[in-house]
Homo-oligomer: A and B are copies of this chain.
């Protein structure tokens, strides 16, 4: 059975691999099992010459790069458990189904920012996706200290377009309501976020771990009533405010970059939630990268220059987001929550501008809240980040993390008072670096 995905011309073959029983791929079975699929062979060449590498370094899936005589593809297959935890933590395969739905939707809303989906096989929980070249994971480039001039513009634009166009500010409401219902089916992945992001880091929990030397810091966090109240408020908003289709896991490991291009990958955590969640996840990871720099740069000058660039990227992402969001507000705001009927159509465009400003302020407040929580969960929770994990020295890693926790707490707790990105960046910079 062949289906087209969304309005794109991607072919989705439901049993492309000719087997309705799920079976994980292995490096030595990829050619055998995918070789007979004409769309793939047509694209990259004769299966006899394929070279296969397994490159999955995330927490969840198998990822293969398949190289043929005419090109490359990425094959991503879900495993029936959390890869980073092992088979003791089972996870349903249908996340691949939600990921391909998210990939097509986000790709339509933010053209050129997502890889092409070539094929989806639900029985194998498998997607065949465009191979991005010469792109590298953003987190790796931040650890390497690489300046990326186009990054902020492309990320800010992506965020504004995907978040605005997936909301009732813009979408036909029947279609939006059907999509909210669709993505509520992705409850297992959303549940991971609900636990790992909002609760575990603030509790004793067997899934948590932290760097030696942070025991006292972790204990302070877990007694921090103000922070925990904020975490619960932000969890309530994440779980009830079905505002737009989120990527749902937009950290710097879900962004691939090269000098000229930025792409967003790994959308299996997609769900409807508050716009600030994607923004906060991304800014939180950039601020984490900031606090890790002192361990990665060779000189104080290099460190200062790169840290300054990171803060500039944060400021530009928000600035570009706000500008593009405002542009879309003025030109594409035809959804039921746009309020054109109340303002522009009654000769009061000024009223709409006021609502735009309060909307941006509300998104910003959420952004800060989620950013600060992301900074906690990556240091005290289950899933850590290479920015810190790659620091060999325990004491240095702990010192960097301690600064990040201090900044993260203030970003979250004082999210209502920090009105501008300059104020937030100043707060981050005010922690100093752990050198």
Contact = CB atoms under 8 A, between A and B. Distances in A.
Given A187-B174, A203-B346, A240 B355 contact: no
B337 A203 contact: no
Contacts of A181: 180-182, 184-185
For chain A, the bracket of interface size reads 35 or more
Contacts of A213: none
Interface string A170-190: 000110011011101101001
Contact of A203 (B182, B190, B342): B342
Nearest to A222: B346
A354 B187 contact: no
B202 A173 contact: no
A160 B232 CA distance: 21
A259 interface: no
A412 B235 CA distance: 27
Given A231-B342, A351-B225, A173 B199 contact: no
A27 interface: no
A319 interface: no
Nearest to A185: B181
Contacts of A235: 336-337, 339
A59 B224 CA distance: 52
B177 A184 contact: yes
Contacts of A231: 342
Given A342-B228, A348-B225, A194 B336 contact: yes
A185 to B, nearest CB: 7
A173 B236 CA distance: 12
Interface in A216-237: 222-223, 225, 228-229, 231-233, 235-236
A345 interface: yes
A435 to B, nearest CB: 34
A361 interface: no
B336 A229 contact: no
A355 B229 contact: yes
Contact of A180 (B174, B184, B194): B184
A168 B229 contact: no
Contact of A202 (B187, B204, B229, B342): B342
A297 B303 CA distance: 79
A260 interface: no
Nearest to A354: B229
Given A225-B348, A231-B342, A342-B202, A173 B191 contact: yes
Contacts of A225: 348, 350-351, 354
A336 B232 contact: no
Interface string A77-97: 000000000000000000000
Nearest to A336: B194
A67 interface: no
A374 B182 CA distance: 31
Nearest to A204: B346
Contacts of A239: 168, 173, 336-337
Interface in A305-344: 336-337, 339, 341-343
5 contacts: A181-B184, A225-B351, A233-B358, A240-B242, A240-B243
Interface of A: 168, 173-174, 177-178, 180-182, 184-185, 187, 190-191, 194, 199, 202-204, 222-223, 225, 228-229, 231-233, 235-236, 239-243, 336-337, 339, 341-343, 345-346, 348, 350-351, 354-355, 358
Given A173-B187, A229-B354, A232-B355, 19 more contacts: A168-B239, A173-B191, A173-B239, A177-B184, A180-B180, A181-B185, A203-B342, A228-B343, A228-B351, A231-B342, A232-B339, A233-B355, A233-B358, A236-B337, A239-B336, A240-B242, A240-B243, A241-B242, A242-B242
